Structure 1
Amino acid sequence: MNGRLSQMDIAIVKHTYTPTGGAEQELLRYVLPKAKSVTYISHPFRDARDVPLNTQISMFENGELRKEISAPLFRGPFPLMAMKDIIFTVWYLKKMRRRIHLYFGVDNLNAFSGIVLRRLGVVDRVVYYVIDYAPDRFRRPFMQSLYRRLDRWCCYDADAVWNVSAAMEDARKAHGFDSGRSAPQIEVPLGNWYDESPKTSPNGSDNGLIVFLGTLAREQGLNLVIEALPKIRKRIPNARLRVIGSGPEMEPLKSLAHEMRVADSVEFLGFIQDGAKAAALLAEGAVAVAPYLYGDNIFKRFADPGKVKLYLAAGLPVVISRVPPVAELIERSGAGIAVEPAVNEIGSALENLLLSPGKISAMRENALELGKKFDWIGIFDRAFGRTFECWVVQNN
């Protein structure tokens, strides 16, 4: 694998909300010591937080950063921003006058840019890397139709499709997708850097600390945990919640904690850019939560939540709603409890665990065992191996 990548010039093009995190950043970390060169282009979403609102380009050679460039700032409505990102990607990579052997387009807009570049002779192979997918993403019919058509076209015309969950392919089929016309679809789940992840203490399971990591958005369902906390604390007085992350629901959630009279038991730490620090704060917990809500436009119904893999790597038992596909695996592996996204079910599951240190200890071992299977090195080794195998078969 290393020998093959060592001859390659690679481009990774993504959109971002936050300065750090995301599968595309983990992909960059994986390929940097292996590839001949990597061009990393990050387009901010128009409502991105804590990042410059102009496109950033980082260029690496033999694993070393050689150049960083900031594009001119451009603001406008979503359609104009999308067109700007496509045009900029095509223009910039074409003017580099360097052949890109392997292009990763993270989302359909960036995959579209890669396919255009391949037709222009700039790119050899395009991988459409799908992190989030929801068949009913937009409320406006025109935007929804455009989204599905672009996703379908990228699947048909890319050289490979990396889906973070097999549920994505099933969701496409339900809306008329022809798998026979698609590029090879390969499941590439989200992962963790297992050996680097701080682990929970085997003796710390009675500390009552519930932890949450992620964007504070409505679909994350964190309000359910806060609403359940008063009842939990009646039986477990030291129960408290630590929230790592920021987002549009930060202030409403703080208000809810005051309304439920548990503000002193909920710790809002905001977004922590230092991943090692965030992981250490997680590992102080007794149990972790991932209470996603249902909804046709909720990505997690078809995606693979990254926070869960971090929980597992830390040895945290997970109380998770049955919304994302990984919930079934967690329950089947004895690494947590899967419930419906309702206050009483989440509260009962948390009480059950926090009152049973022995159960937490057993689930801790199961979580560590499961988390080890999602180490990024193994995930990307398998993904590249399967991708190259598919291309060899096609060429023959």
Structure 2
Amino acid sequence: MKISSVIICGQLVTSRTETLEEYFRNKLDLLTVIGITSPFAPYNVSRCSVYRSGKLIREFRLLGFQIGSMRWYKQPMLFISFSMYIISIFYAVLRLRQKFDLFIGISCFSAFMGVLLKRLKFIKKVIYYSIDYYPKPQKFSFGTLIVIAFRIVDKFCVKNTDLIWHISPRIAEARYKYAKIPPNSYKYLVAPLTYDAKILRFKQIDDVERYTIGFVGTLSENQGLQLLIKAMPQVIRRVPEVKVRIIGKGPYEAELKRMVRNLKLDDYFIFHGFIKSDGEVLDILSRCAVGVAPWTCREDDNVLYADPGKPKLYAFCGLPIIITKGTLIAEEISNKRVGISINYTEDELVEAIVGLFKDKNKLREYKKNAHEFAKQYTTDVIFDSILKSVKDLI
């Protein structure tokens, strides 16, 4: 099948949508990107962008509804956010008055919309880019209803899309474990998370903030920053120069700041908040000495079945990575000496941080390894190979 016109639909500011946008824009006659905004983002950046032969020829804003946080009284408002997404996606396609060869839906909700558009004859083929899989929460909550809805939509997409891209091999395992859908019942390829080679950063060890720890991501409980805060007094006793730079916002932010105040650690933590400029984020991270990804990795954590972007982003910035065990990428990081994989304990986190800060040669080696590791996951390297297979499968 010849592919000359494509729609990419997904959430913005997550790396997946923008990365594919950058990759495809110069490879197609016509590319349309429908980008929606997370309901938890501070403001709406939803847009529809149209490229012809790599040149942006049209762009317009789309509706969004921001709820700001996951507090219990705001959770039902998610239905309003998703309703706005549906309206925005249909509005964009109708306004374009164009039919497309291929729709790439990033996450099950976007793929679901692609299937509907295919049935309305706007789309010929649909790829479902499955970027995570949610186990059911251990305690019943509003999140349980979200997971049930996710499972229903995921199952629909598996049955009705033409091809599935799994961001991690573990997604097929999780879908079989929780939904009893065998991997041999649908067509799929593994399409790991990537970044554009343009964002590669590498600073020599003498050009960075020698004892600074970097973190970027949503400030939620499962991200595990509370472990770092609790461990900091021990780290400070052994490395008094240590600092932590935190980029991002989220529902757990107030609690994290409270912990920092209570432990009198204000001089050691810098909360940058949400930074809109990708370049500024990359510059801050690349000046750090190490990056941390201390996920709690509980049984109901979707990160267990995903290919989270944080570790690879650190590698693209030339940072050795300290990561908790549980994810597939943690094993790869440890095996390739890109960083240190630890259990979710204060003692192991302290030893990992101090061990890297106290051993300059080891830190230098891991920085070099991180840079080489990142080169394996540039978008061109991964997706040039994937696209050859796509044309045969659809």
Q: What is the TM-score normalised by the length of structure 2?
A: 0.89
Counterparts of residues 73-222 of structure 1 (less than 5 Å): 77-86=77-86, 88-90=88-90, 92-94=92-94, 96-136=96-136, 139=141, 143-175=146-178, 176-182=180-186, 184-204=187-207, 207-222=210-225
Deviation, structure 1 residue 61: 2.0
Deviation, structure 1 residue 74: 6.4
One-letter amino acid of the structure 2 residue matched with residue 353 of structure 1: L
Deviation, structure 1 residue 192: 2.5
Specify the alignment match of 2:289 in structure 1: 286
CA distance in 1, matches of 2:183, 2:227: 38
Specify the alignment match of 2:21 in structure 1: 28
CA distance in 2, matches of 1:62, 1:257: 50
* CA pair 81-242 structure 1, distance change in 2 beyond 3 A: closer
* CA pair 85-227 structure 1, distance change in 2 beyond 3 A: same
Matched, 1:57 2:48: yes
Specify the alignment match of 1:333 in structure 2: 336
CA contact (8 A) 1:168 1:303 kept: yes
Specify the alignment match of 2:71 in structure 1: none
Helix, strand or coil at the partner of 1:242:
strand
Work out the percentage of aligned pairs sharing the same amino acid: 27
Moved over 6 A (4+): 73-76
Deviation, structure 1 residue 206: 8.0
Deviation, structure 1 residue 250: 2.4
Q: Equivalent of 1:10, from 2, 6, 15?
A: 6
Out of 120-129 and 295-304, give the one that drifted further: 295-304
CA distance in 2, matches of 1:295, 1:302: 12
* CA pair 43-228 structure 1, distance change in 2 beyond 3 A: same
Specify the alignment match of 2:270 in structure 1: 267
Deviation, structure 1 residue 249: 2.3
Matched, 1:302 2:324: no
* CA pair 45-276 structure 1, distance change in 2 beyond 3 A: closer
Specify the alignment match of 1:394 in structure 2: none
| Alignment deviations for residues 137-166 of structure 1 (CA, whole Å, 9 cap, x no partner) | 684565533321210221121111112111
CA contact (8 A) 2:15 2:195 kept: no
CA distance in 2, matches of 1:303, 1:170: 11
| Alignment deviations for residues 85-143 of structure 1 (CA, whole Å, 9 cap, x no partner) | 33553454256432111101112122111112212221111011122321326845655
CA distance in 1, matches of 2:330, 2:177: 22
- Identify unmatched segments of 5+ residues in structure 2: 67-75
Q: What is the TM-score normalised by the length of structure 1?
A: 0.89
Deviation, structure 1 residue 287: 1.3
CA distance in 2, matches of 1:273, 1:115: 32
Deviation, structure 1 residue 47: 3.3
| Alignment deviations for residues 273-312 of structure 1 (CA, whole Å, 9 cap, x no partner) | 2212211211112111110112243221111111211211
CA distance in 1, matches of 2:48, 2:209: 46
CA distance in 2, matches of 1:390, 1:229: 51
Specify the alignment match of 1:37 in structure 2: 30
* CA pair 21-77 structure 1, distance change in 2 beyond 3 A: closer
Helix, strand or coil at the partner of 1:102:
strand
* CA pair 207-384 structure 1, distance change in 2 beyond 3 A: same
Deviation, structure 1 residue 84: 4.6
CA distance in 2, matches of 1:195, 1:106: 22
Counterparts of residues 228-267 of structure 1 (less than 5 Å): 228-267=231-270
Helix, strand or coil at the partner of 1:174:
helix
| Alignment deviations for residues 12-36 of structure 1 (CA, whole Å, 9 cap, x no partner) | 12234xxx34211110111111111
Structure 1 vs Structure 2 CA RMSD: 2.4
Deviation, structure 1 residue 71: 4.2
CA distance in 2, matches of 1:163, 1:350: 33
